[in-house]
Structure 1
Amino acid sequence: MARTRLVALATTVALTALTGCGAADMTRQTSPYADAEGSRTVTLSVQSWVGAQANVAVAQYLLEHELGYRVDTVQIDEVPAWDALSQGRVDAILEDWGHPDQEKRYIDDKGTIERGGDLGVTGHIGWFVPTYFAAKHPDVTDWKNLNKYADAFRTAESGGKGQLMDGSPSYVTNDKALVDNLGLDYQVVFAGSEAAQITQIKQFAAEKKPFLTYWYKPQWLFEKVPMTEVKLPAYMEGCDADPEKVACAYPHTPLQKFLNGRFAKGGGDAAAFLNKFRWTTDMQNDVALMIAEQKLSPQEAAARWVKDNESTWRAWLPS
């Protein structure tokens, strides 16, 4: 939800409908429309968590229905997406959680990628417990007291320790280092994906069981399962520079857009539109909720949002 040294968040919710190719690894695939100079086609990288799917769904709908472009979407994991963007295999990434190493390589050194501006949404990853548990045990919200509750959070998968539930093992996270460096009696257990993690959280909540999980904002699930953040040692610039020595909280990250360099210069109305695309956390959550909880297809969710929010999206269109 890597976002360098942040947790990359994954789900398969509605992915088939959005990408047309299921949850297959498309790291080396490309779109026939990518980097098609002079044509009214756009290829968007779609990350596998539902908030990112919401961005792409609305952008795709408006590009097709208001600007007359043909849009393709390609699912690529976060870090490989930068390589694909640099090579022109995709034209834009609409939600990045912070990859300064990739920015230096492709923007500063190679000049093959350009910044597309703020998405308008600030992301934050943290450790969370259900609010119903925090209300009964308020001291659990301080990491120094987590060992006191390790038995309460123990599961069959956590090997006699408390369970800290993460998403997919294929993504970068600080959590194992945090557990080690903070001396916590916990085992990181991967749910496998955002969708699997949501299912597990809902199951715990239905039974009013305690759980400790990394989670992130923005995310629609907070509306269904209220959760309270555990305070980790305060984040300070550079405290996560060495992945093996991390002992601090995750930062708050203004989410960014990035465009292929050639597309940024020659992408016409599409590039201008994507640069202007900027909405709020609540707006993203509205669309994500329709996709993940109400089971609308991304296209249906985008159409509904566009119908109700013309005053917002009109400002994104090229003048």
Structure 2
Amino acid sequence: MRTSGWIRAAAVAGSAVLALAGCAADIQPRVAAPGPPEKTACDTLTIAVNPWVGYEANVAVVSYLAKSRLNCTVVEKDLTAEESWKQLAAGEVDTILENWGHDDLKKRYVDEERVAVEHGMTGNKGVIGWYVTPWLVEQYPGITSWKNLNDYAYLFRTPTSGGKGVLLGGDPSFVTNDRALIRNLKLDFTVNLTGSEEKLIEAFREAERNRRPAIGYFYAPQWFLTEVNLVHIKLPPYTPGCDADPAKVACDYQPYDLDKIANREFAESGNPAAELIKNFHWTNADQNEVARYLTVDKLSRDEAAKKWLDANPEVWRAWLPPD
């Protein structure tokens, strides 16, 4: 009895061990889900600076916070929009703080080469188009429709425009559809680039002050619209794809929700500046206020940023990465 009982007990125990071993063989080790990148020191942050004051306003505020709150060494590089993308892809620039569309560059650098990433919205609404001065609309109400522009082309002629009306442009690096629009809408105009955003603004300012005709390319957000309320001309409405072929464009400019672009390695590095930039989000009015400090009040970027930041702590504190 004792011997057979012991044998039965041993058999049961052995079966249990085998069962447990079988279960153990079925258990796979758990792999932890990837978490956020480990935080690192900021070191050097390189920001592209494109040639319009609204972009400079973004740079002023982000740069000041990066230096004062994250202990970054900030390098600001003056570049055109296209140069910014190329240097960002090459790792020579960490971020573009205000991107207007550029679907072709996104396709190349974000989707195909995967060296850049979309890095959040700025909160700004971008509107590009043709504008005229307010006094001109009061004098000639029909001028706000593109269908009537040829009737008023004579107002914008100059001694060197070859009998055509002059449509003002800004910086040569700005990507525009103006020449194609003039050609495809059969308008009796020619484009004259002023050379910079500042000169374009001054041309509109003098035209309004002296009641001289002026029509040209312009955009929002732009602080100058709070000084002279330029009137947007109605071109044929924008529809998705109507500007797909630059040579055949015959529609208004696309409205934009402006975004930020980052070098992929920088965005995934754990650098606290990458998180600050991703969180950066404000309004057209905010940007215009800082741009006005820079342009009208002639403050430095740091001075303009500090003035705005001191008045709006409830906005920018949410941009900072947690300690």
Q: Does structure 1 residue 275 correspond to structure 2 residue 241?
A: no
Is 1:264 matched up with 2:267?
yes
Larger radius of gyration: 2
Match of 1:304 in 2: 307
**What is the aligned counterpart of 1:151 among 128, 149, 154?**
154
Please point out which of 30, 47, 51 is paired with 2:50: 47
Q: Aligned letter for 1:277?
A: F
Which whole-Å deviations, capped at 9, do the CAs of 1:149-186 have from their partners, x for residues lacking one?
Answer: 11111123422111100113343210001001101011
Asked if the contact 2:131/2:218 (under 8 Å) is kept, the reply is: yes
| Structure with more helix by fraction | 2
Contact 1:181–1:245 under 8 Å retained in 2: yes
1:85 corresponds to: 88
Alpha-carbon distance in 2 for matches of 1:298, 1:83: 25
What secondary structure sits across from 1:89 in the alignment? coil
1:207 corresponds to which residue?
Answer: 210
Give the stretch that moved more between structures: 202-211 or 152-161: 152-161
- Tell whether 2:101 aligns with 1:66: no
Give the number of aligned pairs: 283
Q: Is the 8 A contact 1:38 1:266 kept in 2?
A: no
Report the counterpart of residue 220 of structure 1 in structure 2: 223
Q: CA RMSD in A?
A: 1.2
Name the residue aligned to 1:75: 78
Letter in 1 for 2:108: R
Instruction: Check conservation: 1:181, 1:247, Cα contact below 8 A.
Output: yes
Hey, what's the Cα distance between the residues in 1 that align with 2:172 and 2:320? 39
Amino acid at match of 1:69: C
Is the contact between residue 59 and residue 274 of structure 1 (CA under 8 Å) also seen in structure 2? yes
1:6-25 equivalent positions in 2, closer than 5 A: none
Query: 1:157, 1:58 → 2: CA distance?
Result: 43
In structure 2, the residue matched to 1:15 is none
| Equivalent position of 1:185 in the other structure | 188
* Paired AA for residue 53 in structure 2: V
Hey, what's the Cα distance between the residues in 2 that align with 1:154 and 1:171?
23
Please tell me whether the aligned partners of residues 123 and 255 of structure 1 are also in contact (alpha carbons under 8 angstroms): yes
Normalised to the residue count of structure 1, the TM-score between the two structures is: 0.86
Q: Is the 8 A contact 2:131 2:231 kept in 1?
A: yes
Question: Corresponding residue for 1:96?
Answer: 99
1:226-241, aligned counterparts within 5 Å? 226-241=229-244
Q: Residue 247 of structure 2 aligns to a residue in which SS?
A: coil
Once the two structures are TM-superposed, the CA of residue 38 in structure 1 deviates from its matched residue by: 5.9
Q: Flag structure 2 segments of 5+ consecutive residues without an equivalent.
A: 1-39
Q: CA deviation at 1:76?
A: 1.1
Deviations 1:21-61 (A, max 9, x none): xxxxxxxxxxxxxxxx9652201111110000000000000
Identity among equivalent positions (%) equals: 44
Aligned partners of 1:279, 1:94: CA distance in 2, in Å? 12
CA apart distance, 1:268 = 2.0
1:267 to partner: Cα distance = 4.2
Q: Deviations over 1:41-99 (max 9, x none)?
A: 20111111000000000000001111111111001111121111011101000000011
Question: What stretches of structure 1 of length at least 5 have no aligned partner?
Answer: 1-36
Q: Which residue of 1 aligns with 2:287?
A: 284
State the alpha-carbon separation in 2 of the partners of residues 310 and 105 from structure 1: 38
Q: 2:119 maps to what in 1?
A: 116
Is residue 88–residue 260 contact of structure 1 (8 Å, CA) maintained in 2? yes
Query: Tell me, what secondary structure is at the counterpart of 2:179?
Result: helix
2:20 counterpart residue number: none
**Other-structure match for 1:3:** none
Please name the residue that 2:245 is paired with.
242
